[in-house]
């Protein structure tokens, strides 16, 4: 089975494709188990910091930033916004990236007017909101590995870690717990 696929994202100037990685459930459990190493809730972030620092491209790649609110804090922004960004620095300790906004994607005309002054603005965003594009200006960028890292972290926080985990006396992200939550 192909691990990587492209997802089409509309943009008025050209067509963008973001790279997505998919896993067989058993492979996902195995990889998460290797990353987390039976970590408790309070150690998960440290394990992900280590994982990010070992392999993610630290700078020089393009992505779609799927912002939940946009940058403008306004009640007029009703829908999440997508931005084309250049990643200029990844902070593995904060699991964030410093990006420069290059374009606004999939925006209504009123959101576009509110947001267009943010073009070329530098902002700090969560790694969970970044989706690498298939076309990279720098050919030496290992976008597949970067995509895998982002997808694993995103999957964990969206599907594995549950709000009540931190209230459990002992909650270890071991093979048994991971397998139960993946399946």
Domain limits, the chain: 25-56+142-183, 58-141
Q: Report residue 73's pLDDT band, with 50, 70 and 90 as the boundaries.
A: very low
pLDDT in the model for residue 3: 62
- DSSP for residue 69: S
The end-to-end CA distance of the chain, in Å, is: 19
pLDDT tens sequence across 74-98: 444 445 678 899 999 999 999 999 9
pTM: 0.84
CATH of domain 58-141: 2.30.30
DSSP secondary structure letters along 56-94: S--SSEEEEEEESS-SS--TT--S-EEEEEEEEEEETTT
């Amino acid at each position: 089975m192909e691990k990587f696929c492209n997802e089409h994202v509309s943009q008025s100037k050209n067509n963008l494709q973001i790279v997505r990685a998919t896993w067989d459930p058993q492979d996902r459990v195995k990889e998460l188990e290797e990353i987390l190493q039976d970590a408790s809730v309070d150690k998960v972030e440290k394990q992900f910091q280590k994982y990010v620092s070992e392999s993610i491209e630290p700078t020089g790649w393009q992505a779609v930033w799927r912002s939940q609110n946009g940058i403008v804090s306004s009640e007029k922004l009703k829908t999440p916004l997508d931005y084309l960004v250049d990643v200029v620095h990844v902070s593995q300790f904060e699991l964030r990236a410093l990006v420069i906004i290059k374009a606004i994607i999939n925006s209504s005309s009123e959101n576009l007017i509110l947001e267009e002054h943010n073009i070329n603005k530098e902002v700090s965003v969560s790694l969970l909101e970044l989706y690498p594009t298939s076309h990279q200006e720098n050919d030496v960028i290992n976008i597949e590995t970067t995509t895998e890292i982002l997808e694993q972290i995103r999957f964990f926080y969206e599907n594995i870690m549950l709000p009540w985990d931190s209230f459990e006396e002992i909650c270890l992200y071991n093979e048994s717990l991971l397998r139960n939550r993946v399946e």
